[in-house]
Structure 1
């Protein structure tokens, strides 16, 4: 009786071993099938895209490009112009002997007709620009006057007004700047004539200046 039970147990154990072996075989077969399918898919992909070449790495230019340096300031040229301006308007020059003897203290270059100066006194010329020198020191006024005359010539202006004031605020109430302006104007070649302004245009505190004509005008 015991022998029959042992035999039955052995048969059951063998059956279990066989089933386990069968399961391992099925699992191995499935894994092999999946690997084959993966290889087939990879081959299909390679055949579809053709020959593949590696991408060349782009060389990045790391050179530092600095902005162009600003143009140098022509300091020496500016200094030379200012020096030339100061030299061209001397405080040692006086035009007292060149002035007309009338009350307007008029001035005219040689060759300028009396009719031109007369029209200037009567206000026949239209004043196109003016320079107000109130509050300027002597050197500042001299430089400003020279620059104003240069710009007026470049613009082709013919008649301008210089406001120098009556000198009532000066030391001893003397119109120092008034006399300086007349002396400076007489030294400028572009000035043809000047005279004291009419009362409506500033009277004794201003001058009306006639400039030479230019190609632009």
Structure 2
């Protein structure tokens, strides 16, 4: 019977509570918060392809960047006479500084080369040598560092001409670079 008294006490308590509170009315329903806008659809595959193409370009891989291990690097701006490029190829310009990129990965080599060329130009050097190696230890068939060096040198405004070094100065594993004066 103790259970019945508890139920009776609960009912009395509820009745007392309702009497004390008085009549209640239901609150109006609040509208649901607006949904967050859905993100715009993206072309993820196109973004991935674009990122891969940029990385291939940065590393010197892909179409137009297929310099092989034994290939000679050679380039001159239009304002540079062909005779100057020939003299550069024969090693007749003394390299005033040298950068060795052996054992660098492509990203590090790019940073080092850009910094080296800027410092060489600021120092007033006219000719420098960049040792990139022949690419014997490259994972794929193309020498990665050689392609990176070629691409960077071709796109720098302060590089007048460059040519693979003569055999006594590194051959196709190094390049002599003529820099514009400050």
Instruction: Please indicate the TM-score interval, normalised by the length of the shorter structure.
Output: 0.5 to 0.7
Which has a greater percent of helix? 1
* Residue number in structure 1 paired with 2:95: 127
CA distance in 2, matches of 1:95, 1:208: 25
Residue from 97, 108, 114 that aligns with 1:140: 108
Structure whose alpha-carbon radius of gyration is higher: 1
CA distance in 1, matches of 2:175, 2:101: 12
User: Which consecutive unaligned segments of at least 5 residues does structure 1 have?
Assistant: 1-86
Large movers: runs of 4+ above 2 Å: 92-97
Please say if 1:199 is aligned against 2:153: no
* Residue number in structure 2 paired with 1:117: 85
Please say if 1:183 is aligned against 2:158: no
* Residue number in structure 2 paired with 1:170: 138
CA distance in 2, matches of 1:170, 1:159: 28
CA displacement, residues 123-181 of structure 1 (integer Å, 9 cap, x when unaligned):
11111001000111111100000100010011100100010011111114531111111
Instruction: Please give the root-mean-square deviation of Cα atoms over the aligned residues, in Å.
Output: 2.5
CA distance in 2, matches of 1:131, 1:111: 26
Contact persistence 1:95–1:183 (CA under 8 A): no
How many equivalent pairs are there?
A: 122
**TM-score after normalising by structure 2:** 0.61
CA displacement, residues 70-125 of structure 1 (integer Å, 9 cap, x when unaligned):
xxxxxxxxxxxxxxxxx9xx62879959x9xxx63310012111111111011111
**TM-score after normalising by structure 1:** 0.52
CA distance in 1, matches of 2:109, 2:74: 21
* Structure ranking higher on relative contact order (CA contacts 8 Å, 6+ apart): 2
Instruction: Sort the Cα spacing of 1:92 and 1:201 in 2 relative to 1 into closer, same or farther, 3 A.
Output: closer
User: Which consecutive unaligned segments of at least 5 residues does structure 2 have?
Assistant: 1-53
CA distance in 1, matches of 2:58, 2:166: 27
* Residue number in structure 1 paired with 2:58: 91
CA distance in 1, matches of 2:75, 2:129: 14
